[in-house]
Chains A and B, each alone.
Chain A
C-alpha cells in the first residue's frame, strides 16, 4: 500500500464547502429560538450612572433584557487571563475583573452592558435602541507608548501596568555591550491588527430543562477549553451539564481561541429564559470586540564586533493588552515573544523586558504567530540595519551568526532540536536569484523606480506545548492533546481529535496519518472534532500545535490499536504475539506466514465468543472492542525555520509599493500533505504582507476605532500580491515520531520584516513604520531626493 503521508491528497472537507453544505454557527436555527442583540458602550472609558430598560421592555416581541446587575447577582464569573506572569521584582501580574456584562464601568468601545432578547432579530434591534444608559464619560487612555502616564483605568492597577517582565540577564548584556565595537539600535512600532476571520463570531445557546444541560454552538477554535473556562470560571454550568460544539468555523487565526462575553451571556440567559438564543456578530461588532493582535512599541539594541559577530542584544518593549487581559493576552508578549527575540542567531548575552499595559481599547491577544512575529520583526529589522551600518552583505552577516550545530541551545530559553539554517539561506538565495538583484535594481532605476531587496531568517517555537514547561511558566492548564481511535465492527475508523479545524484541513491530513498507521483506506476513516460530547478532551488549535501535538496523539492511539491487534491475531492464529508483525493493514505471523487483516481483527474484537471453529479471539486480560485513547504531551516545542526574500519596486512619484517577488524557503520537518502546506504558507504570507503594507487598526485619542469596517481597514485583496515562490528544506523534528514541526504561522512571522527590509532598502535605509502606505513612502522618497541633492 502506497504511503499517503507526503502525498497531495485532495481534501475530504471540500465538497461540502463548495456546494453550500458547510454548517457554520450562523446556519444553525433551533426550534422556538430567540435573538440576542448586545447593547454596547459607545465610549472608551466611562462609569455607568444609570441603566434604564423600562422603555425597551415595552417594545414589541421582547422576551428578556439582562444587564450586568443580573449577571453579578447570579454570580456568573468573568473572562480570564490563562497565564500568570510574574514581574521582574517578583510581584504577580495585576488583572482587573472582566464581567461578561459591565455593571459599573466600561473600558472600551464595544464593551457590552446589556443583552436584549426578542422573538425576532428586528425586534431585538429595535428594543436595544431604547435601552437608556447614562454614562459619565472619563478620559480614555489609548496610546501604547504613553499608557503608563495616563489616568488609572482599573482601580488599584498603578500606571496601568499589568506586569514588568524580564527574561535574560541585564548584567551579562551590559558586559557584552561594553565589549562591542558598535551598537546598532532601533525603535519599532509593531502595528495593531484585527484578525478578521471571514466568518463573524456567532453563538446559539440552548437549554434542555429535562436533562438540565446547556448546549452552546459557537465559533471556537477550542470547544473543550471554552467549556472548561465557562464552567470553572464562568460558573455557567458544571462541565457535564455544558456541551460546547464548534461546527464548521470560518477561520480563526487566534481570534476564536477566547471565550467571549457573548458565549457566557447567551448560555446563562438561555437557561434563564428556558429557550434557545441566537446571536450573530455584525462585522462592525467583530471589528470592535474580537481580540486584536500585535501593538508593541519597542526599543532594541544589538552589540556587534566590527567584523559582524553579534555579542549582545536587548529588547525593551511596551505591549498593549487593551482593556482586559484575556486567555493568551499575557503570554503572547512574554513567553511566546521573549524566547524568540534573539532569532536564529548565536548571541551570547540577551534580555527582553516587557511592560504590559492596559488601555481603553479592545483586548489584545494571540493573532497568527502571536509574539513570534513581533520578536522576529525586531531582530530582523535590527540585523538588516546592522548589515547596512557595517557594510556586510545581509545574507553573509546572517550566516556568520547562525548556529553551526544542532541541538542549538538558544540564549534565552529554547533548545532547538534540529535545523539547517545555512542550507535554507542558500536555497532561498538561489530561488530568489539574489545574485541577479543588482541588475534588476538598475533596470528599475532606468524606469525612474526604486528597487529594494529584503531578507529575513526566522525560527519559531510552536507545537505548543510541553505541559511541564508551560505550567512552570504560569500556564493555567497542560497543553497536551488527546485522540481516540475507534474501529467499528465492520472495519471503518472514527478518529476523535481534541484539535479543531477551521481551515487547516485536519479531516484530510489526520486521515492520511491514520490511514498509514492502520493500513485502512482513507475513505473509511472519519476525523471528528469540535464537540465536547464526542471527543475525550482537547486543548484545541493554535500555536501550530494541531499536527505536532494532536497528530502525534493520533499516531500513538493507532499504535495502541496495532498492539492489541497483534495480541488478538496471536490468539486467533495460535502464535506468540512477539512473532506477529503489522504491515499495510495486515497482521502476519512471521514463522507461519499466516495472516489476518486489520478488518478481520477488528470484527473479531467485537465478537469475542466461541463461533464456528473459532475460539474466543481475546487473550486473557483483553477486553472486547477495539478503541484506544492517547493523551500526548510533547517533550519539547517544535522549531520550524526558514529564510524569506522579498523584492519591491517603489514609484517615487506616488509612493506606491509594488511587491515584485516573494520567495519563501521553509523547513517544516516532515510534510504530511504538500498541497495543504502550500496553502498554509500562502495564507500566512498574505497576512504578514498585509501587516507590512496594508493593515492597521487605529484608535483616535478618545478611544474610537477609526478603522472599524472594510471601508477603513485595508484587507489584502487578490490584486495586492504577486505569485509567491515557495520552497523547502527539510530536517526532521527529533522530538516526535512523525518528525513534523508545524507550518501555519510561518508566513505571518517572516513576511513583515522581509517586506519592510525590502522597502527600507529601496528607500536607502530610511525607516518607515508599518504599514508602508503610499503616503508614508512618498514622504520618504521626497526626503531621499533632498538628501541625494545635498550629496550632489
Chain B
C-alpha cells in the first residue's frame, strides 16, 4: 500500500492504494470516475485513454504510483462550466459515437492529436487513432468529428 497523490480534473486527491494499482483502476474504483472504460487486457483498445500532464496515455498501462504528483484529465474533466469541449460537441453533431463505450478514450485521444497537430489530414487522423478501437462507427464519423473540432479549437 502507498499513498497516491494526484490532481485529477483540477481537484487534488489523495488515496491509499496497493502499489500494483493501475491508473485505470485507481480512477474507476477509488475516485468513481467510471467514464474511463476498460475494454481489453492487453493495452490495445484505447477505451481507457486519459491525459497525464497534458499528454494522452492508456491508463491501463501505467501504475497510479508511477505517476504520483501528476495532473490527470479524464473525460469527466473535459467540460468547462458545464459546456462541452469542441471535440465533444463535434462528436455529437456528426454522430461520432454509437454505443458510447470507446468514446471517452477516443475523444481524449483526439483532443491530444489536435494539441499536437492543429490541422491534421484524414490520413493523419486515421493514423493517430490507430490505437483506439471502435466496433460501432466504422470510424468515418469519428474522423469527420475530429476535422470539425479542428475548425473550432
Binding site for B on A (CB under 8 A): 10-11, 13-24, 26-27, 122, 196-200, 248-251, 253, 280, 282-284, 502-505, 675-676, 678-679, 682-687, 709-711, 715, 717-719, 721, 723-724, 747
Contacts and interface: CB of A to CB of B under 8 A. Distances in A.
Contacts of A199: 37, 39, 99, 101
Is chain B's interface secondary structure helix, strand, loop, or mixed overall? loop
A283 B138 contact: no
27 contacts: A17-B100, A18-B103, A19-B75, A19-B78, A20-B74, A21-B76, A22-B101, A26-B37, A122-B18, A197-B101, A200-B38, A251-B101, A251-B136, A283-B45, A675-B95, A683-B135, A683-B136, A684-B138, A686-B139, A709-B42, A710-B40, A717-B129, A717-B133, A718-B126, A721-B140, A724-B140, A747-B138
- The residue among B37, B42, B134, B136 with the most chain A CB atoms within 10 A of its own CB is B136
Nearest to A19: B79
Given A15-B92, A17-B103, A248-B100, A198 B125 contact: no
B150 to A, nearest CB: 16
B142 to A, nearest CB: 7
A718 B84 contact: no
A720 to B, nearest CB: 8
B93 A10 contact: yes
A21 B32 CA distance: 11
B101 A24 contact: yes
B126 A250 contact: no
B137 interface: yes
A11 B102 CA distance: 17
A311 B136 CA distance: 39
B91 A18 contact: yes
B42 A724 contact: no
A122 B129 CA distance: 32
B138 A14 contact: no
A282 B41 contact: yes
- The residue among A10, A17, A709 with the most chain B CB atoms within 10 A of its own CB is A17
B146 to A, nearest CB: 10
Contact of A19 (B28, B84, B142): B84
B42 A679 contact: no
Contacts of B127: 718-719
B141 A14 contact: no
How large, as a class, is the contact surface on chain B? 35 or more
Contacts, number: 176
Contacts of A280: 38
Contacts of B45: 198, 283, 710
A22 B100 contact: yes
Nearest to A122: B18
B102 A198 contact: yes
A18 B137 contact: no
B141 to A, nearest CB: 6
B135 A20 contact: no
Interface string B8-40: 000000000010000000001000011111111
Contacts of A711: 42, 44
Contact of B97 (A14, A678, A715, A721): A14
Given A197-B135, A679-B98, A18 B88 contact: yes
Contacts of B125: 718
Given A18-B107, A198-B133, A710-B45, A503 B99 contact: yes
A503 B136 contact: yes
A250 B100 contact: yes
A122 B101 CA distance: 25
A684 B134 CA distance: 12
Nearest to A726: B140
Contact of B135 (A13, A18, A198): A198
B65 interface: no
B139 to A, nearest CB: 4
Contacts of B139: 682, 686, 717-718, 721
A465 B34 CA distance: 37
A10 B92 contact: yes
B59 interface: no
Nearest to A21: B35
A724 B138 CA distance: 9
Given A20-B36, A503-B98, A717 B79 contact: no
Interface in B38-72: 38-42, 44-45, 47
A283 to B, nearest CB: 4
Given A682-B141, A686-B138, A724-B140, A250 B101 contact: yes
Interface string B109-146: 00000000000001101110110111111111111000
Contacts of A197: 99, 101, 135
Nearest to A10: B92
A197 B47 CA distance: 12
B137 A683 contact: yes
B142 A718 contact: yes
Given A198-B133, A718-B125, A14 B41 contact: no
Contacts of A23: 34
Contacts of A684: 138
A15 B84 contact: yes
A14 B87 CA distance: 13
Contacts of B75: 18-20
A24 B125 CA distance: 28
Given A251-B136, A717-B133, A20 B101 contact: no
Contacts of A22: 35, 100-101
B39 A198 contact: yes
Contacts of A687: 135
B99 A19 contact: no
A710 B132 CA distance: 12
B143 A198 contact: no
Contacts of A724: 138, 140
Nearest to A747: B138
